[in-house]
Structure 1
Protein backbone atom coordinates (compact mmCIF):
# COMPACT_ATOMS: atom_id res chain seq x y z
CA UNK A 1 0.00 0.00 0.00
CA UNK A 2 2.87 2.40 0.77
CA UNK A 3 4.36 1.82 -2.68
CA UNK A 4 1.13 2.89 -4.42
CA UNK A 5 0.93 6.06 -2.32
CA UNK A 6 4.47 6.93 -3.37
CA UNK A 7 3.59 6.44 -7.05
CA UNK A 8 0.47 8.59 -6.69
CA UNK A 9 2.44 11.32 -4.92
CA UNK A 10 5.15 11.34 -7.61
CA UNK A 11 2.52 11.44 -10.37
CA UNK A 12 0.68 14.33 -8.68
CA UNK A 13 3.94 16.20 -8.21
CA UNK A 14 4.91 15.69 -11.86
CA UNK A 15 1.49 16.92 -13.04
CA UNK A 16 1.79 19.97 -10.78
CA UNK A 17 5.14 20.84 -12.33
CA UNK A 18 4.21 20.04 -15.94
CA UNK A 19 0.80 21.77 -15.98
CA UNK A 20 2.06 25.38 -15.76
CA UNK A 21 4.78 24.62 -18.30
CA UNK A 22 2.32 23.29 -20.86
CA UNK A 23 -0.03 26.21 -20.18
CA UNK A 24 2.67 28.60 -21.43
CA UNK A 25 2.82 26.94 -24.81
CA UNK A 26 6.43 26.43 -25.76
CA UNK A 27 7.83 28.10 -22.63
CA UNK A 28 8.86 31.29 -24.39
CA UNK A 29 7.11 33.47 -21.84
CA UNK A 30 8.98 31.79 -18.99
CA UNK A 31 12.31 32.12 -20.76
CA UNK A 32 11.66 35.80 -21.50
CA UNK A 33 10.71 36.45 -17.89
CA UNK A 34 13.85 34.70 -16.63
CA UNK A 35 15.98 36.69 -19.09
CA UNK A 36 14.46 39.97 -17.88
CA UNK A 37 15.08 38.98 -14.25
CA UNK A 38 18.73 38.13 -14.91
CA UNK A 39 19.40 41.27 -16.95
CA UNK A 40 17.76 43.43 -14.28
CA UNK A 41 20.44 42.29 -11.82
CA UNK A 42 23.34 43.26 -14.07
CA UNK A 43 23.25 47.01 -13.49
CA UNK A 44 23.35 46.77 -9.66
CA UNK A 45 25.94 43.98 -9.85
CA UNK A 46 28.13 46.06 -12.17
CA UNK A 47 27.89 49.04 -9.82
CA UNK A 48 28.80 46.76 -6.90
CA UNK A 49 31.85 45.45 -8.77
CA UNK A 50 32.95 49.02 -9.53
CA UNK A 51 32.53 49.95 -5.84
CA UNK A 52 34.56 46.91 -4.77
CA UNK A 53 37.21 47.88 -7.32
CA UNK A 54 37.36 51.39 -5.89
CA UNK A 55 37.80 50.11 -2.33
CA UNK A 56 40.45 47.58 -3.41
CA UNK A 57 42.21 50.33 -5.37
CA UNK A 58 42.26 52.63 -2.33
CA UNK A 59 43.57 49.87 -0.09
CA UNK A 60 46.21 49.04 -2.69
CA UNK A 61 47.19 52.70 -2.95
CA UNK A 62 47.68 52.90 0.81
CA UNK A 63 49.77 49.71 0.81
CA UNK A 64 51.94 50.96 -2.05
CA UNK A 65 52.37 54.33 -0.30
CA UNK A 66 53.40 52.59 2.94
CA UNK A 67 55.94 50.43 1.11
CA UNK A 68 57.25 53.45 -0.79
CA UNK A 69 57.57 55.47 2.43
CA UNK A 70 59.43 52.69 4.20
CA UNK A 71 61.90 52.35 1.29
CA UNK A 72 60.89 48.79 0.41
CA UNK A 73 62.51 47.78 -2.92
CA UNK A 74 59.42 45.70 -3.79
CA UNK A 75 57.22 48.79 -4.28
CA UNK A 76 57.01 48.72 -8.08
CA UNK A 77 55.98 45.05 -8.11
CA UNK A 78 53.24 45.69 -5.55
CA UNK A 79 52.02 48.75 -7.44
CA UNK A 80 51.91 46.85 -10.72
CA UNK A 81 49.93 43.97 -9.20
CA UNK A 82 47.36 46.24 -7.53
CA UNK A 83 47.00 48.32 -10.69
CA UNK A 84 46.59 45.17 -12.80
CA UNK A 85 43.98 43.78 -10.42
CA UNK A 86 41.93 46.99 -10.57
CA UNK A 87 42.12 47.14 -14.37
CA UNK A 88 41.11 43.47 -14.62
CA UNK A 89 38.13 44.02 -12.33
CA UNK A 90 36.87 46.98 -14.34
CA UNK A 91 37.45 45.30 -17.71
CA UNK A 92 35.84 42.03 -16.57
CA UNK A 93 32.73 43.84 -15.32
CA UNK A 94 32.46 45.83 -18.55
CA UNK A 95 32.96 42.80 -20.79
CA UNK A 96 30.45 40.67 -18.85
CA UNK A 97 27.90 43.48 -18.98
CA UNK A 98 28.35 43.98 -22.71
CA UNK A 99 28.29 40.23 -23.35
CA UNK A 100 25.04 39.56 -21.49
CA UNK A 101 23.16 42.78 -22.21
Structure 2
Protein backbone atom coordinates (compact mmCIF):
# COMPACT_ATOMS: atom_id res chain seq x y z
CA UNK A 1 0.00 0.00 0.00
CA UNK A 2 1.19 3.51 -0.83
CA UNK A 3 -0.35 6.66 0.60
CA UNK A 4 -0.26 10.22 -0.71
CA UNK A 5 -0.29 12.79 2.09
CA UNK A 6 -1.52 16.25 1.11
CA UNK A 7 -1.27 18.00 4.46
CA UNK A 8 0.71 21.25 4.55
CA UNK A 9 4.30 21.27 5.73
CA UNK A 10 5.67 20.44 8.24
CA UNK A 11 2.73 18.29 9.44
CA UNK A 12 2.66 16.40 6.15
CA UNK A 13 6.27 15.34 6.40
CA UNK A 14 5.81 14.38 10.06
CA UNK A 15 2.88 12.13 9.12
CA UNK A 16 4.90 10.52 6.30
CA UNK A 17 7.78 9.85 8.73
CA UNK A 18 5.38 8.32 11.25
CA UNK A 19 3.85 6.06 8.61
CA UNK A 20 7.26 4.98 7.36
CA UNK A 21 8.25 4.12 10.95
CA UNK A 22 5.42 1.58 11.09
CA UNK A 23 6.21 0.14 7.65
CA UNK A 24 3.73 2.03 5.48
CA UNK A 25 5.19 3.76 2.44
CA UNK A 26 3.89 7.29 1.93
CA UNK A 27 4.59 10.29 -0.29
CA UNK A 28 4.12 13.92 0.65
CA UNK A 29 2.78 16.51 -1.75
CA UNK A 30 1.30 19.58 -0.09
CA UNK A 31 -1.75 20.97 -1.85
CA UNK A 32 -1.67 24.09 0.32
CA UNK A 33 1.09 26.00 2.03
CA UNK A 34 0.42 28.41 4.86
CA UNK A 35 2.72 31.36 5.28
CA UNK A 36 2.59 34.36 7.53
CA UNK A 37 2.25 37.57 5.59
CA UNK A 38 1.00 41.13 5.79
CA UNK A 39 -1.84 39.97 3.57
CA UNK A 40 -3.76 39.27 6.76
CA UNK A 41 -4.31 43.00 6.98
CA UNK A 42 -6.59 42.58 3.98
CA UNK A 43 -8.96 40.72 6.25
CA UNK A 44 -9.91 44.05 7.79
CA UNK A 45 -12.15 44.73 4.79
CA UNK A 46 -13.98 41.41 5.23
CA UNK A 47 -13.99 40.96 9.00
CA UNK A 48 -17.57 42.19 9.34
CA UNK A 49 -18.76 39.26 7.24
CA UNK A 50 -17.22 36.89 9.79
CA UNK A 51 -19.49 38.35 12.47
CA UNK A 52 -22.54 38.18 10.18
CA UNK A 53 -21.96 34.49 9.35
CA UNK A 54 -24.33 31.82 10.61
CA UNK A 55 -21.86 28.97 9.93
CA UNK A 56 -18.08 28.92 9.95
CA UNK A 57 -16.12 25.92 8.68
CA UNK A 58 -12.46 25.66 9.61
CA UNK A 59 -10.24 23.21 7.76
CA UNK A 60 -6.92 23.25 9.58
CA UNK A 61 -5.15 24.10 12.84
CA UNK A 62 -3.11 26.67 10.91
CA UNK A 63 -6.32 28.46 9.91
CA UNK A 64 -7.33 28.56 13.58
CA UNK A 65 -3.87 29.81 14.57
CA UNK A 66 -3.69 32.63 12.02
CA UNK A 67 -7.29 33.70 12.54
CA UNK A 68 -6.78 33.81 16.29
CA UNK A 69 -3.58 35.80 15.82
CA UNK A 70 -5.39 38.31 13.60
CA UNK A 71 -8.27 38.67 16.03
CA UNK A 72 -5.89 39.25 18.97
CA UNK A 73 -3.87 41.83 17.03
CA UNK A 74 -7.06 43.76 16.36
CA UNK A 75 -8.52 43.30 19.87
CA UNK A 76 -11.38 41.22 18.51
CA UNK A 77 -12.98 38.02 19.77
CA UNK A 78 -14.18 34.99 17.90
CA UNK A 79 -17.85 35.53 16.98
CA UNK A 80 -20.13 33.72 19.40
CA UNK A 81 -23.30 33.39 17.29
CA UNK A 82 -22.25 31.22 14.33
CA UNK A 83 -22.27 27.44 14.32
CA UNK A 84 -18.67 26.25 14.00
CA UNK A 85 -17.58 23.16 12.11
CA UNK A 86 -14.03 21.85 12.35
CA UNK A 87 -12.54 19.38 9.90
CA UNK A 88 -10.31 17.02 11.86
CA UNK A 89 -9.76 16.35 15.55
CA UNK A 90 -6.68 18.54 15.92
CA UNK A 91 -8.53 21.47 14.34
CA UNK A 92 -11.50 20.92 16.66
CA UNK A 93 -9.31 20.69 19.77
CA UNK A 94 -7.46 23.90 18.95
CA UNK A 95 -10.63 25.76 18.02
CA UNK A 96 -12.27 24.65 21.26
CA UNK A 97 -9.49 26.43 23.18
CA UNK A 98 -10.63 29.76 21.73
CA UNK A 99 -14.36 29.16 21.41
CA UNK A 100 -15.88 27.55 24.46
CA UNK A 101 -18.16 25.24 22.46
CA UNK A 102 -18.05 21.50 21.77
CA UNK A 103 -17.19 20.27 18.29
* TM-score, with length taken from structure 2: 0.26
Return the TM-score normalized by structure 1.
Answer: 0.26
Larger Rg: 1
Higher relative CO (Cα under 8 Å, sequence separation at least 6) belongs to: 1
